[in-house]
Amino acid sequence: MKIRCISLWQPWGTAIFLNLKRNETRGKLTHVRGRIGIHAAGLKSKELREFYADMILDNGIKETFGRHGFGDFDDLPFGAILGTVTLHDCQPTTKLRGLDPVETQFGNYSPGRFAWMLTDVNSFTKPFPFSGKQGFFFADIPDSIVKPHTV
């Protein structure tokens, strides 16, 4: 299956598949719609480790990550496509109301940014190792790791 993908740093990529993140906030509007792959970038910086350590202490997030085997930053998958989502809309962040407090931890909702709205989350049976890129890129993913998507 050939699919358009986008890279996210961890833990943001995994948060989508744990139903903690429904919007990917970016500084640019996108007109892309439909199924896209979510790639977890390979970056393991000190700042990302510190964010993860601080973030998982709040709002029951630690329990959610822990239940899925991600108690530590290094337990997260890196350099792999995690699954697919439907990118169904893109709105200025200033138009969004009533966001869940957990959702706001996983995005930058300041003025001048856009929320890429994601639905139909479908994780792969196992992460697919892949070197991502900045911006959208295409990947050819074996059908054997893709769970059937139901709408």
Alpha-helical runs (H) found in the chain? 12-17, 46-55, 61-67, 101-105
Model-level pTM greater than 0.85? yes
CB 43 within 8 A of CB 111: no
Query: 6 by DSSP, 3-state: which?
Result: strand
How many other β-carbons are positioned within 10 Å of the β-carbon of residue 102? 18
Binned at pLDDT 50, 70 and 90, residue 150 comes out as low
Asked whether the predicted pLDDT for residue 132 surpasses 60, the reply is yes
pLDDT computed for residue 58 by the predictor: 63
pLDDT in tens, 40-77: 999 999 999 988 888 766 657 888 898 999 988 999 99
What is the rounded CA–CA span in Å between residue 104 and residue 115? 11
Contact residues for 109 (Cβ-Cβ < 8 A; gap 6+): 25, 93, 96, 99, 115
Count the Cβ atoms, other than its own, within 10 Å of residue 75: 13
**Per DSSP, what are the bridge partners of residue 91?**
115
- Are the C-beta atoms of 47 and 88 separated by less than 8 Å? no
Residue 8, beta-bridge partner list: 40
pLDDT at site 63: 84
Q: What is the pLDDT of residues 89-109, one digit of tens each?
A: 999 999 999 998 889 989 999
